[in-house]
Structure 1
């Protein structure tokens, strides 16, 4: 999902940024100043305040792009805080900054979601601990018709909960259902144990979404009943990519109890990063690879054997060499810095030791190195580097 959003942002930006932020190419293929919207009627303080409070969307990128290309826009842009540079103009610099802000917002989103249903507050308490311990987002499952105290009176065979639990086909309606879980990889699913099983409203939720590529981790609260029966019900109800062993917690469980459990889960192992090893003479550098299909293709290529790349200096800011095979590209407008690893035109491997701005694919970044150290290692002349997996 994140890669899809990034691709959409790139697609609506690249035609304006191919020649660098701040200028665009007109229909006669000559460079011209970007058209600008006059914002002099707003004070600098007001503009800065509006822009800082505004959450930009992909539609804003499309609006600004259409404006700069003199196309009709779908909505009135009057008062839109699109002057991100504060220069009383709307131009390609603003478009680049807007795109970067959206990408930053996207990357800040957690890939873990805590979903829970709680009637008395016991499950909610565990869910709050999980949110704090995993930096997860959360969603509360609430019944369209709330459960009253009489609805869960165990002694009454005719109470609502008794009737629902005795009929596995019942699916209580959910109030304010979440739109999507597509952007999340890991789902903690919490509920109280009712009559030895998960409440039927949990089944409603499970049948509403696709969990076939998710890691699902159940957790529950109860006075004495275990979690095993509900875990089996969940596994049998819908296809799940990977269902980890859950945990039952009593009402008295503390944050330390929850942390002890979380520490046993293979969450970090699932997110472990593949490291690239770059050997330059006797020096070995490690790099963290980007999360895209280009870096993944490089990893698959390196699994077949190490790759030697003969690299030459270019424009006093990079070393560039040709790979033996072309890789898929994920080009986007980037402002590079020293240590960045770049794929250019599908088959050029580039190590930046200074800044540049262009549309290309990021493969990763060298870890823990200063600019002076990197320049010294790469040298001023041609150099051969060996790429391998660590």
Structure 2
């Protein structure tokens, strides 16, 4: 049933791409800007389960790129080498588009930031795409169930948008609403300014979800009107955990303009986790470091260059060697386990391969290794290790 639904969806998509008719044999003739070929309905159905995964992370922008390609519309992005042949049939067609949509809209979210935007003419979309690039955020496009035509936004007429903006109770319906925003902490909310305010469809979106524990950052595009009125409207419409001051951008704003604004925002920037590499002969171990002044001093020392330490075995539970200089101590009573990295007396680096209990400073722990593997790598007696940083 799932395959049938996907196939029917694919056939529906053919209606707005440059597709040919169903031929006399019941096969679907698919035409792309570069070639025409025939894909049987049974083969299309089978391809749903046979396409191969890759390390490439598809985004909404990829969906948009492929759709534009199939519609023979120009794309700003260079699509050369893009892995858009998901069915493995050496061409791009609507079946690839359907599979890509399934991946994008069902895969788990990995970002804590979401860029949400409504864009009728593309100006706000451009700013949103810059933000996605800068923040590696997920994105969601607000689209009206009844799309806005050019006539719907003609400023000096009795147009649809004019009527909506004059009635604060209007809530235009959203097509394909996002299921949930619960997994996101920070939300950028973008829109054009219509008659000095946010479009009413933005109000529809805000009233559809819980923002009480979110950081919301508005941004807008306009020819001249500012963002202040819309910011006030948003803050009064629904409870928001923390609404930061937004920014208005003109149509010709650049990525550098967006970056300059983003860097002024009082957001907690996620630090890239520094890892410690421990080389023992031809083996390389990775360790997660603790968060204390001892570790920071060690990192500062390693940023000047790698450190090689000759280590001796002690009491059949540790290897110990002297650092080139002393580090600040953060001693506490610790029950060590194999894989623990310890600072002893401020100047001795210790790798534990068994248990002990003493008063010293923990520097970190070796990742993804068993006790037997660690003992085999460290060996018996003396050993020489080299410490370095991995960002």
Superposition TM-score, scaled by structure 1 size: 0.49
Superposition TM-score, scaled by structure 2 size: 0.49
- Structure of greater relative contact order (alpha carbons < 8 Å, 6+ residues apart): 1
Rg bigger for which structure? Answer: 2
